[in-house]
Amino acid sequence: MATAADLDRPADASDAFRAEVRAWLEANFPPALKGKDNPLSSIDGPTEMSADEAAWKKAMGDQGWGVPTWPAAYGGGGLDRAQARVLQQEMDRIGAWNPIGGMGVMMFGPTLLEYGNEAQKQEHIRAIAKGEVRWCQGYSEPAAGSDLAALQTFAEDKGDHYVVNGQKTWTSGGQWADKCFALVRTDKSKKHEGISFLLIDMTSPGVEVKPIRLISGSSPFCETFFTEVKVPKENLVGREGEGWTIGKRLLQHERQNLSGGGASVARLFAGKPLSQLAKEYRGDDDGKIADSDLRMRIVRQEMDSRAFALTLRRAALEAKSNQGPSATTSIMKNVGARITQDKAELAIEIMGMNGLGWEGEGFSEAELTQTRTWLWGKAVSIYGGSSEIQNNVIAKRILGMLDHQ
């Protein structure tokens, strides 16, 4: 729905901006990258960028268009919603992808823009906008997963700094991250009110990461240990005891991105359309699929996916006009997880024995990748808050069925 600002914008202003975007993309997007996978979609960590990829990332970072609606004062694009839509349309038109991403863009940046002080914004936001710093998330602990507020990692006040001791687990990308945004306990006498939001340099003495190998064979998560880690007081976001409020807000940003795939899930399972996959593995000489039940399930899945994509687009626009994401992101997270996993399961079923390969001869690289990503996708309904946790959020925050915590 158009806003008053959109209606007041002269028609030729949009046309002029579209022409500006087209000219800039023509000058800066390397044609060799069209149709290629976005390196950000890798679940196995950063890969070495080609010269074209590095040039494209620098161009987008310098222009601020990797985070188009973030304030220009902090390195963002400073665009309004209408302009951001034009930019995305023009990128889609030529097969260009956004090389600026990760947890800094998905979760931490938007949260810091809302809760950080001016010095913190100046120090961190521009680096995120340029893709210069990789962030990880220090939330879950061995005894604080579903009940996150039970976390015990403790930050002891030492005057001008904190000393942090404790352990985090399921730290996505911890082995590659430069910095970590973490929930830590600063008061042991209170549960929720004793939690604070702290920024930790992953190169600090006393920080140790141990990658966790998953059933898919990849190791995108880590155990992270903090032993007598010194953290400057200026790395506290907000005030002591505000961590639970800030942390919940960040989770809304996370769920909004994860519901649409963030930097990975949507692309991870995109691949070939199921209808095309079925024609290759189940079709006759003319590509027709004889199994009527399979045809129906493919149609239903593709309809769900397209309807969900449109809903996400509308929700994203509403979030930008209503001061950020809301509790409805929990609904999106659950629906996105179901659609993603259903597609992966159906793809494996379509491929039959070809979808069960792990290694060795007799399987194409695409088939082996599909098997591993199908297994990896089992985590989609767990990370970012399990489906059960999202159901609790929906019951409390949307349906009003339980008392608020």
For 404, residues 6+ apart whose C-beta sits below 8 A from its C-beta are: 396, 397
Residues 329 and 256: beta-carbon distance below 8 Å:
yes
Give the sign of the dihedral formed by CA 321, CA 322, CA 325, CA 329: negative
Give the sign of the dihedral formed by CA 363, CA 365, CA 366, CA 369: positive
Residues 128 and 109: beta-carbon distance below 8 Å:
yes
Give whole-number Cα distances, 353 to 155, 366, 367, 388, in Å.
52, 14, 10, 33
141, 254, 345, 367: the active-site residue: 254
Token code pair at residue 127: 């680096």
Residues 46 and 39: beta-carbon distance below 8 Å:
yes
Known catalytic residue: 302? no
Token code pair at residue 23: 């000219």
* Residue keyed to tokens 């190791």: 219
Q: Which residues of 228-248 are buried (b: 16+ CB within 10 A; e: fewer)?
A: ebebeeebbbbebbbbbbbbb
Among 179, 110, 106, 176, smallest CA distance to 138 is for: 179
Residues 74 and 89: beta-carbon distance below 8 Å:
no
Among 261, 242, 401, 395, smallest CA distance to 327 is for: 395
The tally of CA atoms less than 13 A away on the side-chain side of residue 107 is: 25
What is the total residue count of the chain? 405
- Catalytic residue set: 254
